[in-house]
């Protein structure tokens, strides 16, 4: 017996099961869910890694776009950066309201559902799902970028690296939230710390008149002179790219249930903390990058003086090199921390996506399978779906950050906007009816509701505005794919919902449901007279059906006669009927036999006994033709027929399942088992 | 009801079934097998297309190798060609003996098995299987070559074309032998006719002093001067490539059973006819090619004066162009006929491979599935396997004829040699003991046996010699792959044989088999109280088990209590047991329940009733989690447990299978069905 079968209350283990255990650890009981709750110090890294890590590419992509307008335009960058930071603050404040109003973890989806109705909520869900996938792709692409910036030799295996990391993160996450957080806490803190130190050092050096100078500061770019409109558009595009730093802010609001009590307070604090850190890092990095004169080009070959055959180092890498010197220990430390936190950012999605997926499944918008917790209490299926989707995206886009960024944050801002609009409605309703406000603190409630209304109104206006800007500036650059994907997904969800509802109605008890089927005949399908068939006959007899008939489908008359002979010879206590099958089919003749039987004996419930082989190794399946399976599938379509599968465990199954149908020599009554004769026969 | 269910004695049809019918036509009864037998005029094209078509590449590859030694060496070509023709004649004579001695269609495999034992026979089988695959690949590659020679624009889609043709041939063949032959007879005859006419015309023109001149006659090649040894080796290599013209000779001997009576005479005549035609065409084409000065180079860029960016026209194309003028009607006719016959040659393998596969399956050397005839009386699985393998080979070798030829004919000559050696033994045995010779014609028997011995001895010597030459000259050029594949395949077959034998012994009746299992308890698994569950309960009650228990696996205590309530409310006449499952597993708790039950009530056969959904569309499967399936798989491992699947056909299954479990409104007793309320509910 494999050792794992011993564990109480688990699926009896087979080989894959065993592998699963080793990768994922021991299963947990439902009660243990509570012990999995997160303290703030753990929740921050888990839910914040996305928002924080995005500063690793946010400033880079922003300045990159500005550079298209030439070095002159870079001077406007601080204003763009400021706009992003302001937006960040507003969004954070708005989400504090959402956490307060809807702490169940539904986030924007729940808000939209409660306040805007089904369709908007499904759109929000679709948008979020798309964006979770892109979060994984973008974060990993950027992480690989930073690894390559430190170790250029790896430039050749960019995509392989990216996909490999996806796989790694999936596995780590399948082990469950708790361990995940533990693994992820350290690097996030290291990242925050080291980047803050870097920014500090750089600014101090600047004040001391020894400002760091980036390697790319020397490179010039030949910028085509742009008209007013073009410049404005470029600035807006830069802003949109910068906004990628806002992604992940919603993560906390979706994760409230995972917090330790007081959940709401803890979640809000974590969110504020995260927002402030993100703002500081974003502003700081942009500043240092501008000071040290980093020139990061969309197409490295536009950089006059740069050998564009080698990979272009990321902004983070250039700043680090400028501040601490390329190849210095702190340089590598920063690159490592950045890469880690980016890869871990992908992890945020692996908390959010399956959670949202399960919510959708529970509401009937997604396949039920997304709501079944795995052994480790995580929604395994959701994680696998996300991992697969992200891997595909990475391969399709060859893990190219700049082209992925084009699709990114549209989803986020779709859900931002709808979420905020929903909140505005929410507060309005409360102020109107006071619904959901306990009388005693009605005043406090009304005051805070007014605040909420103000905050979320501001949030709604800004996010909608940004959504428009992002759409206009990115649509042609690939964002159209997202605008295609979101409605398709939304429609699918609505379809699934409708399907489940129809099935529910189909199988719901009603006045047409009734007991009282009569007639009880068992049919044992017999191919050749062997142990599995005898076992089936034995069980059929044991079940004492009103009538038990053995049926043999004869492809040629000879088959039938031969079996008849053996049947008599062994004196089997069940009548044998031979049915000819000129077309070499099996199910159909049985069906006709059943119909003829019913004509004679009236309506009756028919139980068809089918011996079924259980094999040990996957390859054995190739050697047994699936006849039993096919027959069962066909007969299940016949009214009033049930299929009884009588398993026969071949000896090989003992290796895997620790069980077999054939008694071991010891357990046998008289005589040596035939098999041994056979084996000794071989030696001859 | 879908129309196809109407046909008697067929599997009730679903959508794929329908597509199948349209592609493959109506099924046939086993009796109809006889009507499928082939008259000679049909058998020739079917079994000969391989041998005949190979003259399309045999001479080309032979002269190509010679050309490596420079134009001077070409003068020796006639002698090499002569050697090939002689070999061809000997092999044909030898196979006439095999047909006579072993008319059952086992061919070399049977000969080796009867006279040399298991291992050699399995090696022969492996060699033949490998070669069937290569026949398809080589023929199609060459066919595509000739198409491209006529329509150079297609050069870009060579591989796609090749794979497409494989698919086409598979489909045509799945329709069954008869139709196939009809389709294939015409082009084969057109090919023979047109090529003969071409050769004739060319020779006549030569006699009239107006010998045709090939376009490539002008091109010179810079040949490096070779030493004696090198030249000899080169000539041997040319000879080996020329021998590819012999492939397919064995086809007839494997196909004897498919002939009309008198099978043996007809088969022998067909073989002789085929051999003579092949010899004539091979010799003729080589002659005309030499006369018209065709220069075909392994690497077209070696041809001084030829623009090697465009595809090099095949030898056949060059000869046709030289004789009738490029772009003339006869030119295109010949190219078309050649292409057709080459593609059809692949068809030979689609007759041989599945036939051999089924023989192997019957003997237990290959999966049983290879011996199940499809609706159309052809061994469908074998054809699919062959098609797939050939497609893979074509893709891997980019449909490059010259590199495929390197792997080719080794398999053929392995089986040739072993077959001939086997025959020598066969005749020896007959001459010794006269075994298998009826007394009356003992003398005639002995005389013919002596002839047979002589012929096959000659055949054995020559084929073995050629096998050695081929091996030496081709091994380094890729043949090693074949030398790797054949033993691997052979070992697999021996393994399969051993596996089946062990299983047979495992399940054979012996003194440990006995009836008399006792105790009869039915367990109905209940998730929620819905129609499918009621149906399962109803059937369990109808089967009148000694004891019937409903079991609910409760993931949370609440579930259980809620169900208990409904149970009482509906007053269901079966006791309900709630089993808690802290680990959210289903099968394991049921197993434990069964074990506990047995502890109390002693050993008993347990029948577990599982409701199972049957859905119409494939995508619906994604929306129902496979829980029932998983539970069944787990419980089937428990000793003394059988699984009874109670199917519930969702309404959607009516679209596909024409049946549903929920009664149609008409069939219902009192009251409107809930479903309708639901639907009207939607309109609200």
DSSP code string of B471-509: HHHHGGGTHHHHHHHHHHHHHHHHHHHHHHHHHHHHHS-
**Contact B97/B252 with Cβ under 8 angstroms?**
no
Instruction: Give the confidence band of B575 by pLDDT, cuts at 50, 70, 90.
Output: very high
**Three-state DSSP class for residue A606:** strand
Residue A627 has pLDDT above 50, yes or no: yes
Instruction: Give the confidence band of B630 by pLDDT, cuts at 50, 70, 90.
Output: confident
Q: Look at residue A577 in the predicted model and tell me its pLDDT.
A: 92
Contacts of A499 in chain B (CB under 8 A): 620, 623
Residue B2 has pLDDT above 70, yes or no: no
Record: contact B542-A605, CB cut-off 8 A: yes
Contacts of A668 in chain B (CB under 8 A): 511-512
Count of CB pairs separated by less than 8 Å, A with B: 276
Q: At what angle do helices A118-150 and A158-174 cross, to 10 degrees?
A: 120
Q: Look at residue B492 in the predicted model and tell me its pLDDT.
A: 94
Contacts of A372 in chain B (CB under 8 A): 584, 625
Record: contact A531-B539, CB cut-off 8 A: no
d(CA B354, CA A188): 62
d(CA B320, CA B334): 7
Mode of pairing for the β-strands spanning B520-525 and B547-554 = parallel
Residue of A nearest to B666 (CA): A512
Record: contact B499-A620, CB cut-off 8 A: yes
Q: pTM of this prediction?
A: 0.71
**Contact A30/A257 with Cβ under 8 angstroms?**
no
The residue among A328 and B511 whose pLDDT is bigger is A328
Q: Look at residue A551 in the predicted model and tell me its pLDDT.
A: 94
The residue among B343 and A684 whose pLDDT is bigger is B343
ipTM: 0.73
Q: Residues near A535 by Cβ (< 8 Å), separated by ≥ 6?
A: A611, A646, A648, A661
Q: Look at residue B181 in the predicted model and tell me its pLDDT.
A: 56
User: What is the mean predicted confidence (pLDDT) over A445-464?
Assistant: 89
Record: contact A678-B642, CB cut-off 8 A: no
Q: Look at residue A4 in the predicted model and tell me its pLDDT.
A: 31
Q: Residues near B177 by Cβ (< 8 Å), separated by ≥ 6?
A: B36, B38, B46, B258, B351, B377, B378
B2 in contact with A at a CB cutoff of 8 Å? no
Residues in chain B: 684
pLDDT digits (tens, 9 = 90+) for A410-454: 888 898 899 999 999 999 988 887 555 444 455 667 888 888 899
H helix intervals, A408-523: 410-433, 442-474, 479-507
A534 in contact with B at a CB cutoff of 8 Å? yes
| pLDDT above 90 as % of chain B | 26
* Among the listed residues B46, B458, B53, B484, the one whose alpha carbon sits nearest the alpha carbon of residue B244: B53
pLDDT digits (tens, 9 = 90+) for A529-553: 888 898 999 999 888 888 999 999 9
Q: Look at residue B667 in the predicted model and tell me its pLDDT.
A: 52
Most confident stretch, A49-58, A90-99, B249-258? A90-99
* Among the listed residues A621, A601, A600, A599, the one whose alpha carbon sits nearest the alpha carbon of residue A612: A621
Q: Look at residue B668 in the predicted model and tell me its pLDDT.
A: 44
Residue B602 has pLDDT above 70, yes or no: yes
Q: Can you tell me which residue has the tokens 């003339």?
A: B328
C-alpha distances (whole Å) from B80 to each of B61, B239, B243, B623 are 12, 6, 10, 67
Instruction: State CA B420 to chain mean position distance.
Output: 26
Residue A260 structure tokens: 């330790």
Q: Look at residue A307 in the predicted model and tell me its pLDDT.
A: 79
**Contact A430/A393 with Cβ under 8 angstroms?**
no
Q: Look at residue A20 in the predicted model and tell me its pLDDT.
A: 58
User: What is the mean predicted confidence (pLDDT) over A618-637?
Assistant: 82
| pLDDT above 90 as % of chain A | 25
Q: Look at residue A672 in the predicted model and tell me its pLDDT.
A: 31
B329 in contact with A at a CB cutoff of 8 Å? no
User: What is the mean predicted confidence (pLDDT) over B14-21?
Assistant: 54
Least confident of A614-623, B165-174, B416-425, B528-537: A614-623
Q: For residue A389, give the H/E element and its range.
A: helix A380-396
Strand partners, A303: A221
Residue A645 structure tokens: 């599968």
In chain B, count of helices (H) and strands (E)?
26, 7
Residues in chain A: 684
pLDDT digits (tens, 9 = 90+) for A126-153: 998 998 999 999 999 999 988 998 888 8
Residue of A nearest to B609 (CA): A644
The residue among A375 and B265 whose pLDDT is bigger is B265
* Among the listed residues A329, A331, A23, the one whose alpha carbon sits nearest the alpha carbon of residue A149: A331
C-alpha distances (whole Å) from A525 to each of A559, B411, B587 are 14, 43, 27
**Contact A628/A611 with Cβ under 8 angstroms?**
yes
Instruction: Give the confidence band of A375 by pLDDT, cuts at 50, 70, 90.
Output: low
* Among the listed residues A185, A149, A172, the one whose alpha carbon sits nearest the alpha carbon of residue A336: A149
User: What is the mean predicted confidence (pLDDT) over A639-655?
Assistant: 85
Record: contact A505-B372, CB cut-off 8 A: no
Instruction: Give the confidence band of B37 by pLDDT, cuts at 50, 70, 90.
Output: confident
Q: Look at residue B670 in the predicted model and tell me its pLDDT.
A: 35
| pLDDT above 70 as % of chain B | 87
pLDDT digits (tens, 9 = 90+) for B209-236: 888 888 888 887 776 677 888 888 889 9
Range 544-573 of B in CB contact (< 8 A) with A: 544-546, 555-556, 570, 573
Contacts of A11 in chain B (CB under 8 A): 585, 587-588, 634
Record: contact A499-B555, CB cut-off 8 A: no
Residue A587 structure tokens: 């199910």
d(CA B288, CA B214): 10
Least confident of A372-376, A567-571, B74-78, B138-142: A372-376
Least confident of B47-56, B72-81, B171-180, B452-461: B171-180
* Among the listed residues A327, A499, A6, A517, the one whose alpha carbon sits nearest the alpha carbon of residue B540: A517
Interface test with A, best of B1, B25, B366, B539 (most A CBs within 10 A): B539
DSSP code string of B18-76: HHHHHHH-----GGGGGGG-B-HHHHHHHHHHHHHHGGGTHHHHHHHHHHHT-HHHHTT
Q: Look at residue A494 in the predicted model and tell me its pLDDT.
A: 94
Residue of A nearest to B574 (CA): A515
Cis-peptide, bond into residue A262, ω within 30° of zero: yes
Q: Look at residue A50 in the predicted model and tell me its pLDDT.
A: 81
Most confident stretch, B161-170, B182-191, B555-564, B615-624? B161-170
Residue A501 has pLDDT above 50, yes or no: yes
Most confident stretch, A582-591, B116-125, B375-384? B116-125
Record: contact B508-A674, CB cut-off 8 A: yes
pLDDT digits (tens, 9 = 90+) for B496-524: 999 999 888 888 887 767 777 888 899 99
Q: Can you tell me which residue has the tokens 């006449």?
A: B573
A304 in contact with B at a CB cutoff of 8 Å? no
Distance from CA of B50 to the nearest CA of A (A): 31
**Contact B146/B401 with Cβ under 8 angstroms?**
no
Q: Look at residue B664 in the predicted model and tell me its pLDDT.
A: 64
C-alpha distances (whole Å) from A247 to each of A135, A138, A281, B182 are 8, 11, 14, 67
Instruction: Give the confidence band of B80 by pLDDT, cuts at 50, 70, 90.
Output: very high
Q: Can you tell me which residue has the tokens 């809930």?
A: B674
Residue of B nearest to A498 (CA): B682
Average pLDDT for chain B:
82
**Contact A135/A393 with Cβ under 8 angstroms?**
no
* Among the listed residues A533, A579, A576, the one whose alpha carbon sits nearest the alpha carbon of residue A556: A579
In terms of Cβ atoms closer than 10 Å to its own Cβ (0-12, 13-18, 19+), residue B342 is: buried
**Three-state DSSP class for residue A260:** coil
Interior CA angle at A133 toward A127 and A138, to 5°?
Answer: 115
**Contact B315/B285 with Cβ under 8 angstroms?**
yes
Closest Cβ–Cβ partner in A31, A516, A539 for B605: A539
Per residue, the 3-state secondary structure of A584-600, as one string, reads CCCHHHHHHHHHHHHHH
Distance from CA of A285 to the nearest CA of B (A): 47
Residue A664 has pLDDT above 70, yes or no: no
**Contact B398/B392 with Cβ under 8 angstroms?**
no
Instruction: Give the confidence band of B12 by pLDDT, cuts at 50, 70, 90.
Output: very low
Q: Look at residue B375 in the predicted model and tell me its pLDDT.
A: 57
Residue of A nearest to B30 (CA): A582
Residue A674 has pLDDT above 50, yes or no: no
Closest Cβ–Cβ partner in B496, B556, B623 for A367: B623
Q: Look at residue B3 in the predicted model and tell me its pLDDT.
A: 34
Record: contact A12-B505, CB cut-off 8 A: no
B574 in contact with A at a CB cutoff of 8 Å? no
Residue A9 has pLDDT above 60, yes or no: no
**Contact B329/B466 with Cβ under 8 angstroms?**
no
Range 630-659 of A in CB contact (< 8 A) with B: 632, 634, 636-639, 641-651, 653, 657, 659
**Other CB atoms closer than 10 Å to residue A333's CB: what's the count?**
18
Residue A157 has pLDDT above 80, yes or no: yes
Residue B7 has pLDDT above 80, yes or no: no
Residue B661 has pLDDT above 80, yes or no: no
Residue A90 structure tokens: 């507003």
Q: Look at residue B680 in the predicted model and tell me its pLDDT.
A: 33
Interior CA angle at B681 toward B678 and B682, to 5°?
Answer: 100
Range 5-44 of B in CB contact (< 8 A) with A: 9-12, 27, 29-31
Instruction: Give the confidence band of A31 by pLDDT, cuts at 50, 70, 90.
Output: low
**Other CB atoms closer than 10 Å to residue A596's CB: what's the count?**
11
Distance from CA of A172 to the nearest CA of B (A): 21
Record: contact B636-A647, CB cut-off 8 A: yes
C-alpha distances (whole Å) from B478 to each of A357, A443, B132, B302 are 53, 88, 17, 22
Instruction: Give the confidence band of B674 by pLDDT, cuts at 50, 70, 90.
Output: very low
A582 in contact with B at a CB cutoff of 8 Å? yes
Residue B336 has pLDDT above 50, yes or no: yes
Q: Residues near A176 by Cβ (< 8 Å), separated by ≥ 6?
A: A24, A25, A28, A36, A376, A377, A378
Distance from CA of B422 to the nearest CA of A (A): 25
Residue B436 has pLDDT above 90, yes or no: no
**Three-state DSSP class for residue B521:** strand
Residue A16 has pLDDT above 60, yes or no: no
A668 in contact with B at a CB cutoff of 8 Å? yes
* Among the listed residues B170, B178, B185, the one whose alpha carbon sits nearest the alpha carbon of residue B26: B178
User: What is the mean predicted confidence (pLDDT) over B593-604?
Assistant: 90
Residue B387 has pLDDT above 90, yes or no: yes
User: What is the mean predicted confidence (pLDDT) over A550-572?
Assistant: 89
Instruction: State CA A23 to chain mean position distance.
Output: 18
Average pLDDT for chain A:
82
Distance from CA of B399 to the nearest CA of A (A): 28
Mode of pairing for the β-strands spanning A520-525 and A605-614 = parallel
DSSP code string of B358-385: HHHHHHTSS-GGGG---TTSS-HHHHHH
Q: Look at residue A1 in the predicted model and tell me its pLDDT.
A: 32
d(CA B32, CA B8): 16
- Give Rg (Cα) of chain B: 33
d(CA A404, CA A346): 14
Q: Can you tell me which residue has the tokens 């995005």?
A: A54
Record: contact B30-A584, CB cut-off 8 A: yes
User: What is the mean predicted confidence (pLDDT) over B255-276?
Assistant: 86
DSSP code string of B425-473: HHHHHHHHH-TT--STTHHHHHHHHHHHHHHHHHHHHHHHHHHHHHHHH
């Amino acid at each position: 017996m494999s050792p794992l079968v011993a564990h109480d209350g688990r699926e009896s283990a087979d080989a894959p099961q065993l592998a699963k255990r080793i990768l994922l650890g021991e299963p947990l009981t439902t009660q243990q869910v509570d012990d999995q709750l997160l303290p703030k110090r753990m929740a921050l890294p888990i839910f914040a890694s996305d928002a924080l890590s995005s500063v690793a590419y946010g400033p880079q992509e922003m300045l990159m776009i500005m550079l298209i307008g030439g070095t002159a335009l870079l001077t406007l960058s601080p204003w763009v950066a400021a706009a992003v930071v302001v937006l960040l603050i507003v969004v954070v404040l708005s989400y504090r309201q959402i956490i307060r109003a809807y702490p169940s973890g539904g986030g924007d989806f729940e808000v939209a559902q409660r306040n805007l109705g089904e369709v908007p909520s499904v759109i929000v869900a679709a948008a979020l799902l798309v964006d979770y996938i892109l979060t994984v792709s973008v974060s990993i692409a950027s992480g690989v970028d930073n690894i390559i910036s430190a170790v250029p030799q790896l430039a050749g295996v960019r995509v392989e690296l990216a996909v490999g990391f996806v796989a790694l993160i999936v596995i780590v996450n399948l082990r469950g939230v708790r361990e995940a957080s533990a693994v992820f806490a350290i690097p996030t803190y290291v990242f925050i710390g080291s980047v803050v130190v870097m920014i500090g050092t750089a600014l101090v050096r600047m004040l001391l008149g020894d400002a760091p100078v980036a390697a790319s500061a020397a490179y010039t770019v030949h910028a085509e002179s742009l008209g007013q409109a073009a410049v404005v558009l470029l600035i807006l595009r830069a802003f949109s790219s910068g906004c990628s730093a806002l992604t992940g802010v919603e993560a906390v609001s979706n994760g409230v249930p995972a917090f330790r009590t007081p959940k709401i307070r803890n979640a809000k604090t974590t969110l504020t903390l995260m927002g402030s850190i993100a703002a500081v890092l974003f502003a700081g990095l942009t500043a240092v990058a501008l000071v040290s004169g980093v020139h990061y080009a969309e197409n490295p070959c536009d950089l006059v003086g740069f050998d564009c055959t080698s990979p272009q180092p990321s902004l983070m890498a250039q700043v680090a090199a400028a501040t601490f010197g390329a190849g210095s220990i702190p340089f590598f430390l920063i690159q490592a921390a950045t890469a880690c936190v980016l890869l871990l950012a992908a992890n945020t999605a692996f908390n959010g996506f399956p959670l949202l997926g399960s919510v959708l499944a529970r509401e009937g918008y997604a396949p039920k399978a997304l709501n079944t917790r795995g052994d480790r209490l995580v929604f395994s299926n959701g994680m696998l779906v996300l991992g697969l989707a992200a891997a595909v995206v990475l391969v399709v886009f060859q893990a190219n950050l700049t082209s992925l960024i084009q699709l990114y944050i549209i989803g986020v801002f779709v859900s931002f906007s709808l979420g905020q609009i929903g909140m505005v409605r929410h507060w309005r309703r409360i102020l109107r009816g006071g619904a959901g406000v306990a009388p005693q603190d009605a005043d406090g409630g009304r005051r805070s509701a007014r605040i909420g209304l103000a905050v979320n109104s501001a949030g709604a206006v800004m996010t909608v505005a940004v959504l428009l800007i992002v759409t206009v500036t990115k649509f042609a650059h690939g964002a159209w794919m997202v605008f295609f994907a979101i409605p398709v997904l939304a429609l699918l969800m609505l379809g699934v919902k409708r399907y489940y509802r129809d099935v529910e109605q189909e199988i719901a008890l009603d006045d047409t449901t009734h007991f009282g089927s009569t007639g009880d005949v068992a049919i044992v399908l017999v191919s050749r007279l062997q142990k599995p068939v005898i076992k089936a006959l034995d069980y059929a007899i044991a079940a004492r059906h009103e009538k038990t008939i053995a049926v043999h489908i004869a492809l040629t008359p000879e088959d039938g006669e031969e079996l008849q002979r053996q049947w008599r010879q062994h004196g089997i206590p069940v009548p044998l009927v031979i049915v000819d099958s000129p077309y070499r089919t099996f199910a159909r003749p049985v069906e006709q036999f059943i119909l003829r039987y019913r004509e004679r004996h009236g309506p009756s419930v028919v139980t068809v006994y089918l011996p079924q082989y259980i094999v040990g190794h996957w390859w054995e399946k190739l050697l047994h033709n699936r006849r039993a399976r096919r027959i069962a599938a066909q007969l299940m379509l016949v009214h009033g027929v049930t299929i009884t599968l009588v398993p026969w465990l071949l000896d090989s199954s003992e290796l895997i399942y620790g069980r077999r149908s054939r008694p071991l020599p010891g357990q046998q009554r008289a005589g040596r088992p035939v098999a041994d004769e056979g084996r000794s026969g071989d030696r001859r």
